[in-house]
Structure 1
Amino acid sequence: MSTVVAYQGEPGCNSAAVSAAMFPTSRTLPCSTFADVLFAVSEGKADIALIPVENSSAGRVADVHQLLASSGLRMFAESFLPIRFDLVALPGTTIEEVRTVRSHVHALGQCRKITQEHGWRTLVTEDTAGAAREIAELGDPHEAAFAPPAAAGLYGLDVLAEAVEDEHHNTTRFLALSQGAPRPERAEGTAYITSLLFRTRNIPASLYKALGAFASNGVNLTKIESYQLGGSFFASQFYVDIEGHPEEPSVALALEELSFFSAEVRELGVYAAHPYRAQLLTD
């Protein structure tokens, strides 16, 4: 049996494109929400969960890191996708006829310039490809959608304008997760990312001291997110991505020091850094 990849959205969405690139021989399981994606893997209906976690223009995908931390799944790979949105509408529609444009909230946020230029009303949908499907079903020439390039052909729509995103360096990072994904053995010449969750002790300057563990050992943090626990304003957890493998001496020392100032440290995954990271350093 082939591997099943669960993602949020409908066929033609950006997650579907990433799934095809990362796991080309796999079957897919489209889901309505990110929670459904993770639940599908936890329940054995899918083998891999593919989740977008952050966008270079719109920032983090809301609530995803908290879902990832509580899912019990482990991260084992990352990917980066340059995001392109086309303005799509019914065949024969002109851009002057459009009154309302719909898409996922993140897509609307990434296409503000053209929306404001034309004074369009916006409607939020569950995902970008689903917005294109809705346009096809509505049959209203005054309605359009911001959708991935594959969606127009899939749903029989015209492209009124290509690449309408505000920033053409617009890129989304995706993580792949599974049940019990093993930590990869450290290989010389391979760059790694380690994702961690930690909760600091309730002592003065605990976060400062915890983060100092990385600084004093020369370990680079590429991401840090915080969120409250159980509705409390006092108990916080922190999600971090660091460069390096836990078996590297500097990383091992940093994690040992981090544990001293933390009530909990949990490894969420270790995976090879995507080549796109190196490209960012040279651009």
Structure 2
Amino acid sequence: MMALKGVSTWGCSSSKPHPQLGVVSSHSGHIGNNLRYDLHKCCKWECCCLGVLAQRAITPVEDEKSSSSPLVESPGAADEPLQNESKGFHKDMNLLPKPLTAIDISSSPRDGSKVRVAYQGLPGAFSEDAALKAYPECETVPCDDFETAFKAVELWLVDKAVLPIENSVDGSIHRNYDLLLRHRLHIVGEVQLRVNHCLLGLPGVRKEELKSVVSHPQALAQCEVMLNDLGAVRISAHDTAAAAQTVASNRARDTGAIASFRAANIYGLDILAERIQDDDENITRFLVLARDPIIPGTDKPHKTSIVFSLEEGPGVLFKALAVFSMRNINLSKIESRPQKQRPLRVVDDSNEGSAKYFDYLFYIDFEASMAEPRAQYALGQLQEFARFLRVLGCYPVDTVV
């Protein structure tokens, strides 16, 4: 069995007690009293990372009891060796890295010369492209699903995880927002990747021969115009790389796949068409996650991601956003998610009895470094009326797409 190392988490507690929250020291592991914040001392606010304050950890407000029951590993799905001498196609797909599963608890041998980066999908997935953009010399580690990638970092199987958080066409990936709160990882970077959907087929097949196309549902939806012109039947797959592997494995000449350029090279498929997406400006933003936060600076543009919930009252959300506006801090992203453990808030109505509303968590990205006093003062003021506040990470902005 592998020894697990404790992970510290940036966070702070409201001055008002909350039944779901407790403050945990990253050094002792004991539950302490909720911290009370003095606005006049906000330059010493506990969430700042100037290297002079001990880092705190806070119990998540959502999904506090993560599932510990062992999950059943997916069948190996070992494919028969394929004979194809063209394009350096893998004769045995078993030579490709196998995705980690939720019950994988031992890491492969590592020499320490490369960063190991987890991603969701099979080799050739767009998430692997994002990992290689962030760490060109890294060793990529495929995972079955998003949560397995989170756990791989927590269990020291890998050093980092690169996971999608939003797409310019389809919006936010809500599952990863929820997992950010459930797990105690830190955002240490971002990657903006331009998506190039390619139509792939078996060697020698022409585009006109295709009767069906397999890919991830989002990829199929993003290439609707081309698929309508082709008149092909759409078949859903777990991810784009899995679609390419399916076409290569089944050897069906009338079936194509929508996947990446790298997937074509990995699985020995021809690229029948490139950039087939409806929107040329199709960009996916990924987050780089690690066990420990980085020390933010001011030498380059930084972004800070936080999550918080608010007390009931008129204009409270307006007040929360105003703490950034009055300090000239730009908000680049606002996302709200209903609280799972407390989905409804009961509010007394003067005439009709009780009204029930969704209770929300708010995720915000703002363009400032936690090394800047204005960011520290803004979060110090926000804490005055926030029921829960946690800093998910402070990291450099990716300016190259």
Q: Does TM, normalized by the shorter one, top 0.5?
A: yes
Which residue is 2:385 aligned to? 261
Instruction: Return the offset for 1:138.
Output: 1.3
CA deviations over 1:131-154 (Å, ceiling 9, x no partner):
101001111122111110111121
Structure 2 counterpart of 1:141: 253
Which has the larger displacement, 55-64 or 32-41? Answer: 55-64
Quote the offset at 1:116 in angstroms.
Answer: 2.1
Q: 1:183 deviation in Å? A: 3.2
Gaps of 5+ in 2: 1-111, 345-357
The equivalent of 1:60 in structure 2 is: 172
1:110 aligns with 2:222: yes
Task: Verify the 8 A CA contact 1:8 1:33 in the aligned structure 2.
Answer: yes
Structure 1 segments unaligned to the other structure (5+ residues): none
Aligned position for 1:70: 182
Displacement after TM superposition at 1:215 (Å): 1.8
1:210 maps to what in 2? 320
Question: What number of residue pairs does the alignment pair up?
Answer: 275
2:368: which partner in 1? 244
- Give the alignment of 1:1-283 within 5 angstroms: 1=112, 2-184=114-296, 186-188=297-299, 190-230=300-340, 232-233=343-344, 234-276=358-400
> What letter matches 1:112 in structure 2?
E
Could you tell me how far 1:61 is from its partner in structure 2?
A: 2.1
Counterpart code for 2:387: A
SS at match of 1:167: coil
1:181 deviation in Å? 2.0
SS in 1 for 2:137: coil
CA distance in 1, matches of 2:359, 2:174: 20
**In 2, distance between residues paired with 1:21 and 1:209?**
38
Partner of 1:260, secondary structure, is coil
**Contact between 1:183 and 1:269, CA under 8 Å: does it hold in 2?**
no
C-alpha distance in structure 2 between counterparts of 1:79 and 1:260, whole Å: 33
For residue 164 of structure 1, give the secondary structure of its aligned residue in structure 2: coil
Q: Which amino acid aligns with 1:187?
A: T
Q: Give, as a single letter, the amino acid of the residue that structure 1 aligns with 2:283.
A: T
CA distance in 2, matches of 1:121, 1:260: 55
TM-score, scaled to structure 1: 0.92
The answer as to whether partners of 1:32 and 1:126 remain within 8 angstroms in 2 is no
Q: Which moved more, 1:205-214 or 1:220-229?
A: 205-214
Q: Shift of residue 97 of structure 1?
A: 2.0
Alpha-carbon offset, residue 93 of structure 1: 1.9
Secondary structure in 2 matching 1:123? strand
Residues 176-204 of structure 1: CA deviation (Å, up to 9, x unaligned): 111122332x234x111000011111222
Post-superposition CA distance 1:213-238 (Å, at most 9, x none)? 11222211100111111261432111
When Rg is computed on C-alpha atoms for both structures, the one with the higher figure is 2
Secondary structure at 1:275 match in 2: coil
Higher fraction of strand: 1
For 1:82-108, what per-residue CA distance to the aligned partner results, in whole angstroms no more than 9, with x for missing partners? 110110011222222222211122212
Shift of 1:30: 0.2
- What displacement does 1:271 show? 0.6
